[in-house]
Structure 1
């Protein structure tokens, strides 16, 4: 395994065009997609990151590639590609909260030009893990990668595309069991397990495979638990909210980056992650909350760079 490969992250999942419809009816089009936003967050925080995704060879795909490249995300080239670049429409309400409609297909190439060796961390989540045929390919890739890389996962559920909770649940449970770190929103858990307290689900998940499970509560902060039995809480900084687009993705990117800085990523550090000091994890989560607060204070999925956190 080359040192260069072990200094990189691999993000697997959708990149697309977000069409944002504001309360006044105005529209904006810009690149998005949950995993792509996580990759951008990592790139802006100074991490080397590859994105394995499914874009069309069209003008929208070119726009997405340029956007990713501007944040130093390397988009892997595969042996085949989408017939058209996916589009998601985000409708913003008066409170700045987004709801989504999608027009997309999802798959993975059969082969791609990845770096020699294995990445330090493999991240996936959202549409890419449920929508078929690509969802099954993502699960296989994650299972194959787990012996050599840390696995991080954010369900980031989209009911419009994923059908009923009973349909999505087997896909989510399979990825949770494979993951070392899971970040999930309280809204996702309320849809997936209605009537069950988010902390209860997080603690169940932390005993099924992951060393760390984090539940975000929007402007109220986040709760986390570990497989060793620790519980942590962080408060979100108070900011003027422009919109919530990309907030969870920026938190996820910050979580990967923070664990990376703490030396807790990589298969060789799996036990260290399981045994991580709660003070270290608290510091990581507080920084994640700052990153998400900066993101919601400005329009669109626009995570901060490392210099903005100094």
Structure 2
């Protein structure tokens, strides 16, 4: 059964301020962070979304709280768990590609007791890899496993966590309790520099998820579940910058999966029952949404009306 438009989506991960430097322009600050971007994207696609995140009570933190609330994002926990709000400095090249440096911390407060039971849980980026919050996140996800679709967007950040054995172990622990793992080709190379891409995908699948989704920027994306392999092109169009593109892709993918009934306790079985044509449509929807985001400055995902 497809997720109802009133069913709750829970997103867990960082919220921060992106300080964006572009050639020949003064820096501009945007609300960002992998989880915050995904939560906004889901809200704009019409999904009731709750965010478990962390930031300070400073001016930047108040801006994050205000802007996300304005987008319809609810708070799954008290986000004021840090002394100051994290930030990322994004340097854009002439083609709009971003490279980052960070000042980031992560700590998660307990989920609200009155939080609606989620049918989808998305864990993003630093949440399972940066202590002291990583252990808290893994415990939350284990508690929800079997009751919701669990999706993990790896979105590796070597500048913060490095890429050593401890990081690989944390990524694999989260992958092992997830139904869908999304990773970029760069994520896979950073985790498994001794394996080619297909070997890395096979390794992740062996940990337990039903499917691994790989994004490759302008080269498109692929879905791999051990029996079905579906690859789709990226959405053609102008590129202003790539900030938030992967987060939008992941959120729109979850929206499309929820429409096809891949939610709740029955999510694993529903994922396995997807046909190649259905998977193609899921990836195409995600690519369309990401294509809108890259056509705009900063992490500015589309509303449902923008996708026709």
TM-score, length-scaled by structure 2: 0.94
Cα–Cα, structure 1 residues 238 and 166, in superposed 2: closer, same or farther, change >3 Å?
Answer: same
User: CA-to-partner distance for each residue in 1:264-289, whole Å, 9 max, x for gaps?
Assistant: 11112321212222211111111111
Partner residue of 1:296? 294
1:160 aligned partner: 159
Instruction: Confirm or deny: 8 A CA contact 1:6 1:120 kept in the other structure.
Output: no
Question: 1:25: Cα distance to partner?
Answer: 4.8
- Evaluate the alpha carbon distance shift between residue 204 and residue 89 of structure 1 in structure 2; reply closer, same or farther with a 3 A threshold: same
Q: Which has the higher contact order (CA 8 A, sep 6+)?
A: 2
In structure 2, C-alpha distance between the alignment counterparts of 1:79 and 1:86, rounded to whole Å: 12
1:106 touches 1:134 (CA, 8 Å); kept in 2?
A: yes
Contact 1:78–1:113 (CA under 8 A) maintained in structure 2: no
CA distance in 2, matches of 1:128, 1:69: 21
Q: 1:262 aligns with which of 260, 263, 278?
A: 260
Instruction: Look up the SS of the partner of 2:301 in the other structure.
Output: coil
* Counterpart mapping for 1:187-202 below 5 A: 187-202=186-201
Cα distance, 1:115 vs structure 2 = 1.6
Alpha-carbon distance between aligned partners in 2 of 1:4 and 1:55, rounded to the nearest angstrom? 31
Alignment of structure 1 residues 211-290 onto 2, 5 Å: 211-227=210-226, 229-290=227-288
Range moving further from structure 2, 204-213 or 63-72: 204-213
| Structure 2 equivalent of residue 27 of structure 1 | 27
Q: 2:26 & 2:137 partners in 1: Cα distance?
A: 36
Gaps of 5+ in 1: none
Task: Pick which of 159-168 and 133-142 moved more.
Answer: 159-168
Match of 2:108 in 1: 108
Other-structure match for 2:13: 13
Correspondences of 1:92-171 after superposition (within 5 Å): 92-116=92-116, 118-171=117-170
> How far has the Cα of 1:231 moved from its partner?
0.5
How far does the alpha carbon of each residue in 1:227-260 deviate from its partner, in whole angstroms, 9 at most, with x for none?
4x10000011221110110010000001100000
Aligned CA RMSD, in angstroms, stands at 1.9
Deviation at 1:129, TM superposition (A): 1.4
Q: State the match for 1:74 in structure 2.
A: 74
Task: Work out the CA distance in 2 between the residues paired with 1:239 and 1:5.
Answer: 30
Aligned pair in 2 of structure 1 residues 166, 77: CA closer, same or farther (>3 Å)?
closer
Cα distance in 2 for partners of 1:113, 1:55 equals 21
Compute the displacement of 1:223 (Å).
1.3
Residue 6 of structure 1 and its aligned partner are, at CA, apart by: 7.6
**Preserved contact between residue 152 and residue 174 of structure 2 (Cα < 8 Å):** yes
- Structure 2: tracts of 5 or more residues without a match: none
Alignment CA distance shift 1:96-1:249 (3 Å): same
Greater CA drift, 128-137 or 3-12: 3-12
CA deviations 1:49-92 (Å, max 9, x no partner) are 00011121121111101211222111234296221111111111
Aligned residues: 306
